[in-house]
Amino acid sequence: MKVLISDNISSKCIEILKNAGLEVDIKVGLKPEELKACIGDYHGLVIRSATKVTSDIISAAKNLRVIGRAGSGLDNVDKTAATKKGIVVMNTPGGNTITTAEHTIAHLVSLARFIPQATMSLKAGKWEKKKFMGVELYNKTLGILGIGNIGSQVAKRMQAFAMNVIAFDPFLSEDKAKIMGVEKVDLQNLFKRSDFITIHTPLTPETKNLINKKTIKIMKPGVRIINCARGGIINEKDLYDAIVEGKVAGAALDVFEKEPPENNPLLTLDNVIATPHLGASTKEAQENVAVSVAEQIVDYLIHGTIRNAVNFPSIPSDQVSRLQPYINLAEKIGGFAAQIFEGGITEITIEYQGDASRINTAPVTIAAIKGFLSPMLEETVNFVNAPVIAKERGIEVKEIKSSDEGDYQSMVALRIKAKDKQSYFAGTLFSKKDPRIVNIDNFKVEIMPEGELLFMYNNDKPGVIGNIGTLLGKNRINIARMHFGRETQGGMAISVVSIDTHASQQIIEEIKKLPNILSVKQISL
């Protein structure tokens, strides 16, 4: 079998692949049409961030069985197209955790003490001690946005600097926060109290432009902001204006919305330090991910074992057709629930009823956890690491099985618990393969969990549906489907509208102002 390496990678990767008996070709810097022309010859593809594996490339990959990313990010791979074609997509989560955490700390310290600016000044023959008056980190408050693998490593290290560490993370429980020695706060509190803010979340519709004119206004005067996560989480124009106005004392950026950041005005400011996306750029990290991806590809192509796959669980091939619809259902329910439920999660119980209780539930449970954790975590959650991530975050996972069929022949449900509340989400399969969400906290519904959805709590009053439809129509947003459920006539109700395009925040705010609308959330599945 043949493996193509299309990006620069450590020689250790090549050595492991060849020692396993695989034929290896190294073709770095291929243009898209060149990659498309040759990809049909290969069973495995090893990439980093430079190669873009589009649906067009995948359609030409007639023999390709696995794509291995030496690193965690998979923005450059069309995972949907790969999944449809049966290609396993693997990454190497955790290989650059320490490296990225250390790079964040280097940025933080350099920002506090003007290290890059003072170096440039001194090399220019100047001696400007007064100009580069810094601030101590001692007893300052560090706000961490997202405290997963990388964020927790930053917290641990900055506690050694005697910083007061506070954190916002939708999956952080109070008990886990205490174990980590950090204070769990809400987002507004973090903005209000932090002297330094460091970002460790993924780029999602919820986190895009999270740092903006409105949120910067809440922050302390003189706050300093570090981003070694993803470009786009900070609104760069709003940050520029805030630094020029003096509200923000400085920023340290390793990532940008557009990379390279051509003519970015932030780079003209003296109190902005920046690096060209170097978070994972150490010899150790690159060797770690190179070795990991090579070993994973060997395991799969030679032994048939799947590890760190983002689109397939590790299940025997003869069970795939039976389990795949349930895996898809559970992941959809989890992703749906995560975008509605708020609070520090302490427990997730996956309940199987009827026919669902008689399947191999282990991969389905993992799919539910993966679906639930994925929307808001900065690390890539896959079928292998989802249980570990849940445990690290203090989330207890339980299973309950019942052969009783109840209202449906087969049902999978998630019961989500926080310290002071819980929610229930249940789904079933129509025609044995099509997922539907049929119960949300005892509201009977029939929701197709796909695409863009607007989820609303509202009073069951005349005119609600018409008002929603009119407003969306006025904003040229087409409605694909509408689903409704209510407790009692005239009581509380749920409305779920499936729309063809993502609704802007302005439209969401307009919906909130409609009569009898109690709350609105946009869900992406």
Catalytic residue, chosen from 43, 48, 107, 277, is 277
Q: How far apart are CA 82 and CA 285, in angstroms?
A: 27
Helix or strand or coil: residue 496? Answer: strand
Return the sign of the alpha-carbon dihedral for residues 185, 189, 194, 197. positive
Nearest Cα neighbor of 61 from 39, 31, 89, 32 is 39
Which residues, other chains included, contact 86 with Cβ-Cβ below 8 Å and sequence gap of 6+? Answer: 65
Helix or strand or coil: residue 261? Answer: coil
15 is catalytic: no
Instruction: Report the 10 Å Cβ neighbour count for 159.
Output: 15
Strands 396-402 and 164-168 turn out to be unpaired
CA end-to-end span of the chain, whole Å? 36
Q: How far apart are CA 456 and CA 471, in angstroms?
A: 14
- Look up residue 336 and give its amino acid: F
Catalytic residue, chosen from 230, 307, 393, 436, is 230
Q: Where are the alpha helices (DSSP H) in 342-403?
A: 362-373, 386-392
Catalytic residue, chosen from 259, 284, 396, 509, is 259
Place of tokens 């509202």: 458
Nearest Cα neighbor of 142 from 161, 118, 122, 114 is 161
Q: Angle at CA 482, nearest 5°, toward 476 and 483?
A: 155
277 is catalytic: yes
Nearest Cα neighbor of 367 from 435, 430, 423 is 435
Phi and psi angles of residue 126, each rounded to the nearest 5 degrees, phi first: -105, 165
Which residues, other chains included, contact 474 with Cβ-Cβ below 8 Å and sequence gap of 6+? Answer: none
Query: From the centroid of its chain, how far is CA 298?
Result: 27
307 is catalytic: no
Catalytic residue numbers read: 230, 259, 277
